[in-house]
Structure 1
Amino acid sequence: MSRLQPSDNATLQEWLDYLESLHRTPIDLGLDRIRVVADKLKLELPFVKITVGGTNGKGSTCAMLEAILLASGYKVGTYTSPHLIDFNERIRVDGEQASDQDIIDQFHKIERVRGETTLSYFEYTTLAALMLFEGRKLDVAVLEVGLGGRLDAVNLVDADCAIITSVDIDHTAYLGDTREKIGLEKAHIFRPGRPAICADPMPPQTIMDYAGRIGADLWLFGKDFNYSGDRQQWAYGGRSQRRSGLAYPALRGANQLLNASAALAALEALRPRLVVPQQAVRIGLSQVSLPGRLQILPGTPTIILDVAHNPHAAAALGQNLDAMGYFPHTHAVIGMLNDKDIPAVVAKLANRVDHWYCASLEGPRGTSGQDLAAMVRQALAATTGQPSLEETSTEVHRVKPPEEGRPGVRSVAVPPVPAHTVKVSNFENPVQAFTEARKQAAENDRILVFGSFATVGPVLDELGRKAT
């Protein structure tokens, strides 16, 4: 049963609590309900619309598009999810977060017309973002797809250009358990006769088949657009446009040039409607920022924040950690949702972490720190071939075998030599886990915080509070 509608002087948090109580399930994919309410609102979006879907890289691609378009002088709205600290992060106009009152005003409008139609939290907030954008007379909106594509609320919008950044295994309960099934779900953000950008170097055949079936203008990485670079700069090459002498994006990570090239391909495809000077590309890429994506904080020990929460993202995170150089020890604060492939994520980083600090996450999808620690130990044992040991640590020892069988040599068992010790601990929340990691880490060590927005967000908030 939903709560009573918030009063006229209700806070944004009270409204958000109300939205969470409206619908029977937190995730209920489908466009029927949101279309009914959108029709009642007579929603019109008379600006260029770019939707961005994919397993990983969506947020970075949206941030680059936003930064480049702002540098070009356009009025830009950006809708992303989820948020790290404040809900307002999800809705931005000209790079500034929407105010509480701006968002509440849209909620009131939706509530007045929706009648008996219940909306999920994401459907409701998506409509609020679109209505706010409509009222601000934008030139262009950048909209991040929440989950999948075909039945996601953002797919209500007929995009002028759609981007798929990558396709990998995640959200299998909703999207399927193969790249082909997941790719088909994501491909539904494409529209007939309009640019459809796919930045996955090895796209599932279902994406190409669907684009062909509906007559979308499919742009494939490696065929229609590409990038090249050296240590100093990089270049984008598209169907008829080349941009050279570009500085590397301010966002860190091995895949950021792939994301940047997808953004530039979309802008090339939209050239008849959006003019983007070369200098705007340079400025936008140099100024783009996105908290929680391989975010490295100043000071010692080195602190890295990354919302990686699936095997594909964890593999990229591992490569990026390797590229950072030598650190005596790596302390990993991890918190994950229970619908993620936790063993596979841990396996990608198993050989890079010395101490795992497993944090409980709240909510029905949250994993307790104790359960997470047990899964981490099992994953480490499976990855290293060693049995799981103590509750608080997993220790790996090497034993030199006796030299049996050699003539004239007495068999001698060499005592075990302590080798690399991997510790696993559990905590009540991410902040508690991070606090302990800072106590244990030496100045020249590094601390990695990852696994979920719900893990990185509280730690980032805590660091911000202490800084002020």
Structure 2
Amino acid sequence: MATSRTLKDWLVDIEGRHPREVELGLARVGEVAARLGLGRPARFVATVAGSNGKGSTVAFIEAIAAASGLRVGAYTSPHLLAYNERVRIDGADAGDAALVEAFEAVEAARGDTSLTYFEYGTLAALWLFARADLDLAVLEVGLGGRLDAVNLVDPDVAVITTVDLDHQDWLGHDREAIGVEKAGIARAWTPLVLGEDDPPSSVLGHAYAIGASAIRAGSDYRFGRDERGDGWWWREPGFELALPLPGLAAPAQLRNAAAAIAALRALDLEIDDGAWARGVAAARVPGRLQRFERAGVEVLVDVGHNPQAARALADWLRDAAPARTVAVYGALADKDAAGVVAALADGVDAWHLAGTTAAGSRGRDADALADALAGTTAADAARHRDVDAALAAALADAGPGGRVLAFGSFHVAGATLAWLAAAGSEAAADAAV
């Protein structure tokens, strides 16, 4: 019998089912996956973890493989505007009907097993992928790695983009402890691509202990801008590529694209010669230093939410054309807001703090954010109830020829994109961190 429940109904329902927003572990999701009879979601699987750059790395892997004519599914999180963004097959977001059917299948199989919102979504994505005859599934870890629901699937290649301080309440309070959690996506005798030149020793130790084949940036593969500055190169022993600059043009995107290439090179997939360049140029991810024009003001939207991402934003601002830069900043309660502001202090002329209470239990209002920023350049910034109010004030503050940087969380980025769409703003270009 046809269901009368919409996708919105399902999302509201599953969001309130589990007593905790985050509860790491594979036992529950593994039980339900077994009842669903889930096998491999594709001929090959790439799993991507990391503190920053995960979504962009997934996009590069997806775009290069698709440019070579492969059928690709990608599972990412969180979404910015619509849940459908989380599940893509052949470059298209999953439709409402397909997601509803997948949620129905998960619900029928779960019995008395309680699942988190993310676990429901992961199982639904894997169910859809298993029915799509995919050559490659690219899975982005939601939180950490070792105990994340995505780690239910054994990857043919694992990627760890970066390891930095984030989600410390769940993952540990230093890079070594967090590295242990992220390294949990590695498998014995399979490739593990490391996007950092100097990853934590805990990551390397785990790889060696289980026999994973570590492929390290700066060692096993290298990359850099070419002499003219209008392209870049990627090489490993016996293989070299000359490539156009990514469409995602912030400096850190070269590292993400390089890790994506290393991951695909580690798989037994046929990628045609031209697909490397076409995919690198074509990859796009919304909310990664995405540029818009509004009332003569450049508006930049970014999901960066930790000090490492803020340092990358600061690097971009140092190289950008001079302009009065006004930041709209909102952060969830578990984030190092002071560390983020410190990283960007030299590049921002004025701050506007936005409440994020609409994000749920982890959100915080502008007054609480200001308290967390005591002693920083943003402590006395203007405070606003929500992102919309902060954007309106920041736009006036920046003035014609100025720049507004809206960042700090996926909630801020999503709200900004919705505000810009409602205002009829035009995208000027895409770049990303």
Number of residue-to-residue matches in the alignment: 418
1:141 corresponds to which letter in structure 2? A
Counterparts of 1:9-48 in structure 2, within 5 Å, are 9-45=4-40, 46-48=42-44
How far has the Cα of 1:308 moved from its partner? 0.7
Aligned position for 1:83: 79
Aligned position for 2:331: 336
1:366 paired with 2:363, answer yes
Distance 1:153 1:124 in 2: 9
Distance 1:104 1:379 in 2: 46
Aligned position for 1:350: 345
TM-score by structure 1 length? 0.87
Larger Rg computed on CA atoms: 1
How far has the Cα of 1:240 moved from its partner? 3.4
Distance 2:318 2:255 in 1: 19
1:38 corresponds to which letter in structure 2? A
Aligned position for 1:436: 393
Contact 1:241 1:268 in 2 (8 A): no
Aligned position for 1:400: none
Distance 2:189 2:223 in 1: 25
SS at match of 2:158: strand
SS at match of 1:378: coil
1:180 corresponds to which letter in structure 2? E
Distance 1:303 1:89 in 2: 22
Choose from 380, 403, 411 the match for 1:446: 403
Choose from 66, 69, 92 the match for 1:70: 66
How far has the Cα of 1:256 moved from its partner? 1.0
Choose from 253, 257, 265 the match for 2:254: 257
Distance 1:344 1:108 in 2: 43
Aligned position for 1:294: 289
How far has the Cα of 1:377 moved from its partner? 4.7
Contact 1:335 1:455 in 2 (8 A): yes
Aligned position for 2:303: 307
Contact 1:373 1:425 in 2 (8 A): no
For structure 1, which segment, 131-140 or 372-381, has the greater mean C-alpha deviation from structure 2 after superposition? 372-381
Distance 1:268 1:351 in 2: 39
Task: Describe the superposition over 1:324-365 as per-residue Cα deviations: whole angstroms up to 9, x where unpaired.
Answer: 0211x2111111000001111111112222221111112110
Aligned position for 2:428: none
How far has the Cα of 1:9 moved from its partner? 0.9
1:166 paired with 2:162, answer yes
How far has the Cα of 1:69 moved from its partner? 0.8
1:463 corresponds to which letter in structure 2? L
Contact 2:197 2:219 in 1 (8 A): no
Choose from 315, 319, 322 the match for 2:315: 319
For structure 1, which segment, 435-444 or 182-191, has the greater mean C-alpha deviation from structure 2 after superposition? 435-444
Aligned position for 2:430: none
1:237 corresponds to which letter in structure 2? R
TM-score by structure 2 length? 0.94
2:162 corresponds to which letter in structure 1? S
Aligned position for 2:118: 122
Choose from 412, 430, 433 the match for 1:455: 412
Distance 1:459 1:318 in 2: 20
Distance 2:80 2:174 in 1: 29
Distance 2:353 2:305 in 1: 14
Aligned position for 1:237: 235
Contact 1:161 1:194 in 2 (8 A): yes
Distance 2:390 2:401 in 1: 19
Contact 1:169 1:178 in 2 (8 A): yes
SS at match of 1:444: coil
SS at match of 2:331: coil
Aligned position for 1:150: 146
For structure 1, which segment, 333-342 or 297-306, has the greater mean C-alpha deviation from structure 2 after superposition? 297-306
How far has the Cα of 1:450 moved from its partner? 0.3
2:249 corresponds to which letter in structure 1? R
Greater relative CO (CA pairs within 8 A, separation 6+): 2
Contact 1:238 1:268 in 2 (8 A): no
1:233 corresponds to which letter in structure 2? G
Task: Describe the superposition over 1:176-235 as per-residue Cα deviations: whole angstroms up to 9, x where unpaired.
Answer: 011111111101101111111001111111111111111111101111111022302111
Contact 2:14 2:120 in 1 (8 A): yes
How far has the Cα of 1:294 moved from its partner? 1.2
2:272 corresponds to which letter in structure 1? P
SS at match of 1:426: strand
How far has the Cα of 1:12 moved from its partner? 0.9
Structure 2, unmatched stretches of 5+, are: 426-433
Distance 1:436 1:287 in 2: 34
Distance 1:67 1:223 in 2: 25
